[in-house]
Chains A and B, each alone.
Chain A
């Protein structure tokens, strides 16, 4: 499930409620039937959470300790821990960074470390609050592939300002001023100009080009180019 909406709409508040960092003033949050506010440890065993600012989550002296932090809390044996940490570091492309101090990393490197710290836990639910905000195009693609690979197997809540990242989501929740203003499929959201505008959203460039040209909403530049070729092929012919 994707979560989108304006700055200050309530995305991060929602995810903090689900992991017990915040308590609802009224109403209830439940994760597998448990109350995250009163049973945070049980809930966090199942829910891996990536915070919006990768700087805040990194606390250990060395990168490898940071990635291992959650496993230590779960009481995983040392040997297994070493193997899993090494795997997670590899998965995010940071092998060799084990003994680096987190505060000396670049923005994208920090975000990758934070992600490794979640993946290593193999949680049943992944809550990702803007997981790609500091990543380059390749890093972004890798994270999205990971999400795609895990979907179906895991429940994923993915907050983002980049709508293209949610093209494969089952649902998208729109949060604006603390209220759910829509709960729709990505295709419906992309096609609804009014809904987008009211929630300070806009289509990413490829989709916007396609929409403005009156063509089907292709997601990749290559697909859009193919569509355009097909269109002009019907006309005077391609020279």
Chain B
């Protein structure tokens, strides 16, 4: 699925004195089967932006298109099924008395058969290392456990676009790596993923393109190497190391991912050392 936001503005609480344009004319696309990283400072509009992707928030002006069709004309239920959103605060998505029921909720809504639902729930929980939590009450989980269950709940819906708002906040490092592998795997299977994150290193690892938001506007969008090397101050550690060596060692190129950066630096040390 291809998602497009065209000149989207969003003003919270119009007319109450704290009127604030959180989005100021954002245009961007999420291409079919790509991973789009969304980064930007606190309050820059990332969560507001991604809640427009399934019209949980309606644009004050501008429009959202799904495969060229105005999303406003689609049924909400259909849109929410095709574009799955995991909230920044996982508690916002957890309601049922047990984890299992919570994760079953969306597939049940789809009218799937019992076996199919159970299969999906098990698969989703397993892919997040959360199968052991199935019988627990969501409110008794630790922070990172809640996060995993909230992601599983949306994953079980098999959306065409998976939108993750700070999905790795609160995950332990191994779980974080596993989640990034999951994102890469979904992408290979044709799912588009929108990944909002403060962790530029993880965005660098999985994103096909990066969008930088600043005060409700798109500051830059495109190839991660283009975006990050244009502004190494706000770039992942890999890019900052290479950029600091850049003038002296132009042969390094512009690696972004950890593996390619390590290889480039190794090459440099071996050639000279």
* A130 touching B265, Cβ below 8 Å: no
Cβ of B67 within 8 Å of any chain A Cβ, yes or no, is no
Contact residues of A between 173 and 206, Cβ < 8 Å to B = 200-202, 204-206
* A208 touching B258, Cβ below 8 Å: yes
Residue in B closest to A200 when the chains form the complex, CB atoms? B174
Contact residues of A between 59 and 76, Cβ < 8 Å to B = none
* B142 touching A225, Cβ below 8 Å: no
* Also in contact, A130 and B47, with CB within 8 A (given A213-B269, A221-B241, A228-B268): no
Residue in B closest to A237 when the chains form the complex, CB atoms? B272
Cβ of A104 within 8 Å of any chain B Cβ, yes or no, is yes
Residue numbers in A under 8 Å from B236 (CB-CB): 205
Which of A6, A52, A107, A200 meets B88, CB within 8 Å?
A107
Contact residues of B between 218 and 263, Cβ < 8 Å to A = 234, 236-238, 240-241, 244-245, 248-249, 258, 261-262
A33 to B148, CA, bound (A): 38
Contact residues of B between 187 and 245, Cβ < 8 Å to A = 198, 200-201, 234, 236-238, 240-241, 244-245
Proximity string of chain B (34-57) to chain A, C-beta cutoff 8 Å, 1 when within and 0 when not:
000000111100010000000000
Cβ of B12 within 8 Å of any chain A Cβ, yes or no, is yes
A100 to chain B, nearest CB (A): 6
Residue in A closest to B13 when the chains form the complex, CB atoms? A104
A234 to chain B, nearest CB (A): 7
Which has the most chain B C-beta neighbours within 10 Å: A161, A213, A229? Answer: A161
Describe B's contact surface by its main secondary structure: helix
Residue numbers in A under 8 Å from B238 (CB-CB): 205, 209
A196 to chain B, nearest CB (A): 8
* Also in contact, A12 and B43, with CB within 8 A (given A7-B148, A225-B244): no
* A222 touching B240, Cβ below 8 Å: yes
Pick the interface stretch among B24-32, B76-84, B112-120, B164-172.
Answer: B164-172
Which of A8, A138, A222, A235 meets B142, CB within 8 Å?
A8
* B145 touching A229, Cβ below 8 Å: no
Cβ of A238 within 8 Å of any chain B Cβ, yes or no, is yes
* B145 touching A8, Cβ below 8 Å: yes
A200 to B173, CA, bound (A): 6
Residue numbers in A under 8 Å from B174 (CB-CB): 6, 200-202
* B142 touching A12, Cβ below 8 Å: yes
Cβ of A80 within 8 Å of any chain B Cβ, yes or no, is no
Which has the most chain B C-beta neighbours within 10 Å: A228, A231, A236? Answer: A228
* B262 touching A212, Cβ below 8 Å: yes
Cβ of A133 within 8 Å of any chain B Cβ, yes or no, is yes
B180 to chain A, nearest CB (A): 12
Which of A6, A53, A99, A107 meets B166, CB within 8 Å?
A107
A71 to chain B, nearest CB (A): 25
Residue numbers in B under 8 Å from A9 (CB-CB): 172
* Also in contact, A232 and B172, with CB within 8 A (given A107-B47, A137-B198): no
Residue in A closest to B88 when the chains form the complex, CB atoms? A107
Residue in B closest to A218 when the chains form the complex, CB atoms? B241
* Also in contact, A138 and B170, with CB within 8 A (given A7-B148, A209-B258): no
Interface residues of chain A, those whose CB is within 8 Å of chain B, are 5-9, 12, 52-53, 55, 99-100, 104, 106-109, 112, 130, 133-140, 161, 163, 200-202, 204-206, 208-209, 212-213, 221-222, 224-226, 228-229, 231-232, 234-236, 238-239
Interface residues of chain B, those whose CB is within 8 Å of chain A, are 12-13, 18, 40-43, 47, 88-89, 91, 141-145, 148, 166, 169-177, 198, 200-201, 234, 236-238, 240-241, 244-245, 248-249, 258, 261-262, 265-266, 268-269, 271-273
Enumerate 30 A-B pairs (CB-CB under 8 Å) in ascending A order: A6-B174, A7-B142, A8-B144, A8-B145, A53-B91, A53-B143, A55-B89, A100-B18, A104-B12, A107-B88, A133-B170, A139-B41, A140-B198, A161-B170, A200-B173, A200-B174, A201-B172, A202-B173, A205-B236, A206-B237, A209-B238, A212-B262, A213-B266, A213-B269, A221-B240, A225-B240, A228-B241, A229-B248, A232-B268, A235-B272
Instruction: Pick the 9 closest A-B CB pairs, nearest first.
Output: A7-B144, A108-B42, A225-B244, A235-B272, A221-B240, A232-B272, A200-B174, A202-B173, A205-B237
